[in-house]
Structure 1
Amino acid sequence: MPRGKARTAATARKPRAPNLPAPFVNGTILKDLRKKEWKLGDEVGKGGFGLIYLAAEDVDSPVAQTAEHVIKIEPHSNGPLFCELHFYQRVSKPEMINAWANSRKLKYLGVPKYITHGNHTRGNENFRFLVMPRFGTDLQKIFEGCGKQFSKETVLALGLRMVDALEYLHENGYVHADIKASNILLGFDNKQEQQDQVYLVDYGLVLKYSPDGSHKEYKEDPRKAHDGTIEFTSTDAHKGVAPSRRGDMEILAFCMLQWLCGKLPWEDKLLDKNYVADSKIRYMEDIPALMRACFSKGESHGEISKFLTLILKLGYEEKPDYNKYKTLFKDGLKKLGVKDEWKLHLPVAGTSAKKSVKRKSEEASECSTPKKKVRGTPKVATTSGSLQHTPKPAAKPRQGTPQTARGTPQRARGRGTPQTARGRGTPRTGTPRATASRASIKSPMKGDSVNSPQTIKSPAKVQTVKSPVKSPSKGNNSKPSTRRKVKRSRAKKVDAWVQTSPR
């Protein structure tokens, strides 16, 4: 089927806002359809439309934090849990899953097993609930905790387990349509997480792709465009086409690609759904360009590239070749020296994150280095010829004397003293020593410190000398004898000040 440019979904439907119930009190008792009682513990999660609580069969004791069951509760008015219940009842019975795993010699199948469900009334509100096995941390938290990048070994091993799960769903007539890291959870058994088991959960968007025995037809519908999680949803879903087995495989490929490179090329504008759709369609038609965009350093990830190519050739109604995908991933693991495909090699949370924080701090220190050079040059005092020994005395007259504040900034940076002369319309003198002397004998403002070199009262003659006398710049025709007289008179006054000033 065509993969051309996505239509602009001007009339695309907006997702209905979730109707989350008020929290349930710890210790609430629920009865399933068989009248068996379940006791709620602490809230441990929040889905798109409902709440998830720890649960225990023993209603006479507090629910332990190591409880091995959870209960998902949603109002009757919400639809996702209704769809999920039907899926679990029809496809996820323990005997069905066990038989499938045994027939294919799998250590486990990453699909949750159905336990029970029921209805509950609280006041005037009616709820439905689903009892499920408890799971551990979701993959998204682990992904973010290690710097948003998994090793190739981890990605290929995760791909194997997800292909197993999707094959089971597809063979039973369903597609998931919302594969992503936050919907993949670690296993939980014997009161602890299982680091080498992952389960695909959240079947609120699950759909039968052949409800009447024949596959749904390819039909674009702008009103249904962009359904799913925007960064991973398939190119078919962007055009409003009903979910398919091909779509599930494409979503998985986008997830694996992100886990490998850290960020997909279209993640810079996720709010622009048409941009995301067009980017995916364009890159799927040029997979080498997609790989270059994801791996700018030229890393070799042939397995994911071949996986995307196989999906590109897959027809909308065509059955995926699951064995070919799994062989591709297994061969990749063998090349990496991995002998056990069931090991996930998940990173320790925080390891890469610390490295990334360190890199950021190093970059920050590098960025701040030039600022230190500008502020702290010890050459300021020597090049300007100033008599100040510390920067503190100069700070007071700079704040209280407008003329000094205007005339001294450039001198503090070691660029000489052009501003002192320029601010009063006087050409540059080209003699830093004379300019510095003139700056140091200015009249003080009231309240200045006696210990400051600029607090010595200068005669009025100094002011009259400063303004009218214009020190010639280079190339000026003024008489040099006049300039020398002015220098000598100032030098004598400075010497007199040095002899009389307190030490």
Structure 2
Amino acid sequence: MVRKDYNVPVMDLLGPSLEDLFNFCSRRFTMKTVLMLADQMISRIEYVRTKNFIHTDIKPDNFLMDIGSHCNKLFLIDFGLAKKYRDNRTRQHIPYREDKNLSGTARYASISAHLGIEQSRRDDMESLGDVLMYFNRTSLPWQGLKAATKKQKLKKISEKKMSTSAEVLCKGFPAGFATYLPYGRGLRFEEAPDYMYPRQLFCVLFRTLNHQRDYTFDWTTLKQREHSRQPLQVGRVSRPKRPQVSKHESRNRRSRADERSSICFSPNLDILVHMYGGQWLWTTIYLV
């Protein structure tokens, strides 16, 4: 249906975030899942770079999985803090600046961002390293620090990050991670990251560990195990209640476009149903 007298925003319906899925998996990801995610996360960051933007808020909450037949595909969302790192026409890089306020999430922000340095392409790559080690370790050394004020807490986080070497952060995990972290931190302000380098680094590690790139993530395996232990339950879905209106208002509404609502449900969404207390997922669009 085409309506020329309305402007209707349309967005893709996506699935849970990586933070949601991390909690769903009892805050434990296997190395296979981390490496498969790393490959897609690097690709998404690189794509944003091709549009002359940097994200500046790389974190698990901003990566969402698709649903339906493409449920193994990862998306990067929330560009509220994104900024251009170079001019579209001249390709001129933004100038180096200091005394900038920290933007993004302190837990995953780069050391340069904590020091008040203007962010560039390198910062997204450094933040990604922190995210990957968060998945590996289940927490980062600078989490849970206590301070009297927010400013003091940010200072403690910054100091802890700077004093934690890649070797210490990655101790007990494959050497590829301890190789990647210094790479992200060591890039110069205007330097273009080599996105193929970490992808190849993690690809070699993936093959060394004899994993199969079947895109079967931990949450997929967990849901399959749950389904095998319990019978399928089919519940009744009822339409949402309409608000009470007067006869006069009802007649006026009939002259407008009809209200249309639809239920969006797919077997691939059952992880969402499970995570949100067994509630059905409704997508309702009102044309008024």
Please, what TM-score do these two structures have when normalized by structure 1? 0.40
Aligned-pair Cα RMSD in Å: 2.3
Equivalence for 2:156: 275
Alignment partners' CA distance in 2, 1:300 and 1:239: 28
- Seen in structure 2, the aligned counterparts of structure 1 residues 235 and 188 have a Cα distance that, compared at 3 Å, is same
Alignment partners' CA distance in 2, 1:198 and 1:319: 23
- Structure 1 position 147, deviation (Å): 1.8
Alignment of 1:312-327 (within 5 A): 312-327=185-200
**1:231 aligns to what SS in structure 2?**
coil
Alignment partners' CA distance in 2, 1:208 and 1:256: 25
Aligned counterpart for 1:187 among listed residues 66, 76, 79:
66
Equivalence for 1:328: 201
Equivalence for 2:94: 216
Question: Residue by residue, what CA displacement relative to the aligned partner does 1:335-369 show, whole Å, maximum 9, x if unpaired?
Answer: 121232x6152335979xxxxxxxxxxxxxxxxxx
- Structure 1 position 152, deviation (Å): 0.9
CA contact (8 A) 1:230 1:273 kept: yes
Alignment of 1:41-190 (within 5 A): 130-189=9-68
- Structure 1 position 182, deviation (Å): 1.1
Alignment partners' CA distance in 2, 1:344 and 1:167: 24
Aligned counterpart for 2:80 among listed residues 204, 211, 215:
204
Are 2:139 and 1:260 equivalent residues in the alignment?
A: no
What letter corresponds to residue 174 of structure 1 in structure 2?
Answer: F
**1:185 aligns to what SS in structure 2?**
strand
Alignment partners' CA distance in 2, 1:274 and 1:247: 18
Where structure 2 has 5 or more consecutive residues not aligned to the other structure, the ranges are 224-288
Equivalence for 1:245: 121
Are 2:203 and 1:288 equivalent residues in the alignment?
A: no
Equivalence for 2:226: none
Equivalence for 2:217: 345
Alignment partners' CA distance in 2, 1:282 and 1:251: 16
- Structure 1 position 302, deviation (Å): 1.2
CA contact (8 A) 2:64 2:77 kept: yes
Alignment partners' CA distance in 2, 1:140 and 1:349: 17
CA contact (8 A) 1:153 1:344 kept: no
Where structure 1 has 5 or more consecutive residues not aligned to the other structure, the ranges are 1-30, 39-129, 293-298, 352-503
CA contact (8 A) 1:176 1:203 kept: yes
Alignment partners' CA distance in 2, 1:350 and 1:153: 14
- Seen in structure 2, the aligned counterparts of structure 1 residues 240 and 36 have a Cα distance that, compared at 3 Å, is same
Alignment partners' CA distance in 2, 1:303 and 1:347: 24
- Structure 1 position 290, deviation (Å): 2.4
Alignment partners' CA distance in 2, 1:131 and 1:235: 37
Higher strand share: 1
What letter corresponds to residue 279 of structure 1 in structure 2?
Answer: K
- Structure 1 position 332, deviation (Å): 1.1
Question: Residue by residue, what CA displacement relative to the aligned partner does 1:71-116 show, whole Å, maximum 9, x if unpaired?
Answer: xxxxxxxxxxxxxxxxxxxxxxxxxxxxxxxxxxxxxxxxxxxxxx
- Structure 1 position 36, deviation (Å): 4.3
Please, what TM-score do these two structures have when normalized by structure 2? 0.68
Equivalence for 2:109: 233
- Seen in structure 2, the aligned counterparts of structure 1 residues 306 and 136 have a Cα distance that, compared at 3 Å, is same
- Structure 1 position 228, deviation (Å): 0.8
**1:338 aligns to what SS in structure 2?**
coil
Query: What is the aligned length?
Result: 215
Alignment partners' CA distance in 2, 1:35 and 1:316: 48
Equivalence for 1:498: none
Alignment of 1:403-418 (within 5 A): none
Determine which structure has more spread, i.e. the larger CA radius of gyration: 1
Could you tell me the percent identity over the aligned residues? 28
What letter corresponds to residue 238 of structure 1 in structure 2?
Answer: H
Question: Residue by residue, what CA displacement relative to the aligned partner does 1:99-136 show, whole Å, maximum 9, x if unpaired?
Answer: xxxxxxxxxxxxxxxxxxxxxxxxxxxxxxx4211101
Alignment partners' CA distance in 2, 1:220 and 1:142: 37
